Chain A
Amino acid sequence: MSWFARYVRSTVGAKHVMAVTGLLLFLFAIVHMVGHLQMFGGPDMYNAYANFLQNLWEVKWPTRAGLLALLLIHVAVAIGLVARNRGARPVAYAMYKPVVSRSAGRAMAWTGMALFAFLAFHIIHFTAGQVQPKYFHTLDAQGRIDAYSMFVRGFQNVGIYATYLAGMVLLALHLGHGAASWLQSLGLRHPKYPADRLGLPIAAFLFVGYMLPPTAVLVGLIRLPGA
Chain B
Amino acid sequence: MSDSHEELDLTLHVWRQPDRAAPGKMVAYKVTGVSTHASFLEMLDILNEQLVARGEEPVAFDHDCREGICGMCSLMINGRPHGGMRATTTCQLHMRFFKNGDEIWIEPWRAHAFPVIKDLCVDRTAFDKVISIGGFVSANCGSAPDANDLLVPKEAADRAMDAAACIGCGACVAACPNGSAMLFVAAKLSHLHHLPQGQPERLARTGAMVSAMDEAGFGACSNHYECEAACPKDISRDVIAELNRDYARSAFVHRERANKADGSG
Interface residues of A (CB under 8 A from B): 1-4, 6-7, 10-16, 81, 84-85, 87-101, 105-106, 108, 177, 180-181, 183-191
Contact A106 B177 (CB under 8 A): yes
Contact A10 B110 (CB under 8 A): no
Q: When A and B form their complex, what is the total count of cross-chain residue pairs whose Cβ atoms lie within 8 Å?
A: 148
Instruction: Identify the closest chain B residue to A108 (Cβ).
Output: B222
7 more contacts with CB within 8 A, not counting A81-B222, A97-B78, A105-B224, are A81-B220, A88-B180, A89-B111, A89-B179, A106-B224, A189-B241, A190-B241
Expressed in whole angstroms, the Cα–Cα distance for A31 and B241 within the complex equals: 29
How many of chain B's residues have a CB under 8 angstroms from any CB in A?
A: 53
Q: Which residues B215-263 have CB closer than 8 A to chain A?
A: 217-226, 228-230, 237-238, 240-248, 251-252, 256, 262
Expressed in whole angstroms, the Cα–Cα distance for A105 and B222 within the complex equals: 8
Contact A99 B245 (CB under 8 A): no
Instruction: Identify the closest chain B residue to A180 (Cβ).
Output: B223
CB distance from B228 to the nearest CB of A (A): 7
Instruction: Identify the closest chain A residue to B219 (Cβ).
Output: A88
CB distance from A89 to the nearest CB of B (A): 4
> Which of B113, B179, B180, B243 is close to A187, meaning CB atoms less than 8 Å apart?
B243
Interface residues of B (CB under 8 A from A): 13, 15, 26, 76, 78-80, 84, 105, 107, 110-113, 175, 177-180, 210-211, 213-214, 217-226, 228-230, 237-238, 240-248, 251-252, 256, 262, 264-265
Contact A100 B112 (CB under 8 A): no
CB distance from A59 to the nearest CB of B (A): 29
Those 8 A-B pairs whose CB atoms lie nearest each other, nearest first? A187-B245, A187-B244, A88-B219, A88-B179, A101-B224, A97-B79, A11-B220, A85-B178
Known contacts A87-B112, A89-B112, A101-B177; A14/B220 CB under 8 A? yes
Contact B111 A88 (CB under 8 A): yes
Expressed in whole angstroms, the Cα–Cα distance for A99 and B107 within the complex equals: 17
> Which of B78, B225, B244 is close to A186, meaning CB atoms less than 8 Å apart?
B244
Inter-chain contacts of B229 with A (CB < 8 A):
99-100
Known contacts A88-B219, A93-B107, A105-B224; A12/B78 CB under 8 A? no
Inter-chain contacts of B265 with A (CB < 8 A):
2-3, 6
Inter-chain contacts of A84 with B (CB < 8 A):
219-220
Expressed in whole angstroms, the Cα–Cα distance for A84 and B218 within the complex equals: 8
CB distance from A72 to the nearest CB of B (A): 19
Contact A105 B214 (CB under 8 A): no
A-B CB contact pairs (8 Å), 7 listed? A15-B244, A81-B220, A94-B26, A98-B177, A100-B229, A105-B224, A188-B241
